Amino acid sequence: MGSHLKLIAERAGVLLTQRGNQILVSGDAEAVRDVRELLEQLDALVAAGNLLQKSDVAHAMRILADDPRADLASFFRDTILVGVEGRRITPRSAGQRAYVEALRTHDVVFGVGPAGTGKTYLAMAAAVAALKRGDVRRIVLTRPAVEAG
């Protein structure tokens, strides 16, 4: 069984059995329904030409855990920037998606929240993307007026 399927089985608490191009999902009815939705959306992403890494599958599982009705394709299409090595920088949650949309539509955005949630990373990606598009001429980096701690 592929590493993506192993990841899904472990995280969702289901048993996945692969036979040819078919996958049998066994377990709790709710978990089976959630995994079926995940697999259908992942299949659509692959059919659309996306090459999914293990981190993309984990990302997709987090998105659907936050919002079971989420459209994964819209998250994967919402690329902020493509890095030097071809890695896409995309929002990883509904909150990050709202933050990125605010960055795109407003001149000034205050990002407040716990450390490690991607505020600076996404802001810098959005700034570099705007610079590459020619929307801005330069990026100004400043230090905090008061250090944390």
pLDDT one-digit tens code per residue, 92-128? 888 898 999 999 999 999 999 998 999 999 999 999 9
Spatial contact of 31 and 13, defined as CB atoms under 8 Å apart: yes
Predicted local distance difference test score (pLDDT) of residue 84: 75
DSSP 77: H
**106, two tokens:** 């407003």
Pick from 27-31, 78-82, 136-140: least confident: 78-82
Q: How far is the C-alpha of 90 from the C-alpha of 21, rounded, in Å? A: 29
Residue 4 CB-half CA count within 13 A: 18
pLDDT one-digit tens code per residue, 31-56? 999 999 999 999 999 998 888 888 88
Spatial contact of 100 and 80, defined as CB atoms under 8 Å apart: yes
Q: Where are the domains of the chain?
A: 1-77, 78-149
Spatial contact of 95 and 128, defined as CB atoms under 8 Å apart: no
Residue 20 has pLDDT above 60, yes or no: yes
Q: How far is the C-alpha of 91 from the C-alpha of 68, rounded, in Å? A: 17
